[in-house]
Amino acid sequence: MADPGDLAVSPGWLDDGRRQAFFFWAMAAVTALPLFGLGFGVMLDGVAPEEVLRSLGGVIAVAGYGHVAATICFYPDRGYFAVMKTDKVRFFLWPLLLAGFSALLFSIGGRWSAAILLGYFAWQMHHIQRQNYGIIAFAATSGRYGILPAPLVWILDLTALAGFCALLELLAVGPSGLFLHAGRVLYLLSGCWLIKLIISNPKLRGNARITGFSVLSWAFFLPAMIAVNPISTYWSYVIAHGGQYFIFVAVSSYGANRRTFWMALSLFGVTFWILSLLADTSLGSKFFLGVGMGHFLIDAKLWRLREPLQRDLVRLRFAFLARPVVSMRTAGE
């Protein structure tokens, strides 16, 4: 693996300050544009969600199962492969078993397949907000903040539960309006809690990146609370989540070495092509739920920073976020 210094002290646009700014602005853009451009955009008069979905077929494919395919980028990476060898069943067996289990259940159909589908969506909401928390943690690292306030995790969990309630409404589960109203109540509580946390914590309030990404993470499911349609309730935040993930994977792979980066990119292209072909078949589409669960399972372990191997890898690959930013003029004085 490359020494973190050889990627962090390059001249020009690659200096630490610009790399940090580019990273966070890119994260903000891929998060905000789908949420507000799509999630709220389809609420305008004359905009049909079905037409938007048809026109965004390629974007949905890349951000949906494409970002799941990007998980393969960690396998040719020596650093992350060392993590995988510590739990071979989780990384090599369980993804295959989950894909097969999914195909079997959806071939049989019935109540069990419906229950597994709802379980998948609940897990997905949790997975999405864990990634958002990771972005906030990176913002805290760049700002030398220290440990984030514990309630922030609970606030994001509440929004994930509210988002799941809105999805249940979209899927017409239960009496009409029941889950949507419950989700709105939970979302309102989470918003009040976040406001109280920001007001009562001057240190948190004084860090624009942490505050900004905390608010943006809270707003992830806001379109779903206002309008029940596929774009607002599901695809706007799935596209945003996929965009974030591609940035994480690109930075991590590039931070290993150039050879690993190009190998990862090639493997991703092949995997995405295979999934695209499977998506057009009846049997192949039944595998996707299990493939997605495998993605959740793999990511949860790879980014578990309380474990030393993963923590060291993230510190190495994202070292530019932890370095103090020094202007070129100051450095030359």
219 DSSP assignment: G
CB atoms within 10 A of CB 201: 16
Contact 186, 228 (CB under 8 A): no
* Distance from C-alpha of 271 to C-alpha of 249, rounded to nearest angstrom: 15
Nearest Cα neighbor of 79 from 320, 275, 315, 325 is: 315
- What are the pLDDT digits (tens) for 311-332? 999 999 999 998 775 443 333 3
**Considering only 25-29, 47-51, 225-229, 293-297, which range has the smallest mean pLDDT?**
47-51
Residue 325 has a pLDDT of 56
Residue 110 has a pLDDT of 75
- What are the pLDDT digits (tens) for 145-186? 989 999 999 999 999 999 999 999 999 999 999 999 999 999
Contact 95, 294 (CB under 8 A): yes
- What are the pLDDT digits (tens) for 66-111? 999 999 999 999 999 999 999 999 999 999 999 998 888 888 877 7
* Arithmetic mean of pLDDT over the chain: 89
Nearest Cα neighbor of 10 from 315, 333, 319 is: 319
* Distance from C-alpha of 271 to C-alpha of 269, rounded to nearest angstrom: 6
- What are the pLDDT digits (tens) for 42-69? 888 778 888 898 899 999 999 998 999 9
CB atoms within 10 A of CB 104: 13
pLDDT greater at residue 308 or residue 108: 308
Nearest Cα neighbor of 236 from 48, 24, 56 is: 56
Residue 331 has a pLDDT of 38
* Distance from C-alpha of 68 to C-alpha of 273, rounded to nearest angstrom: 12
- For residue 41, what are its two tokens? 């955009």
Nearest Cα neighbor of 292 from 241, 224, 228 is: 241
Residue 321 has a pLDDT of 92
Residue 48 has a pLDDT of 86
Residue 46 has a pLDDT of 75
CB atoms within 10 A of CB 294: 21
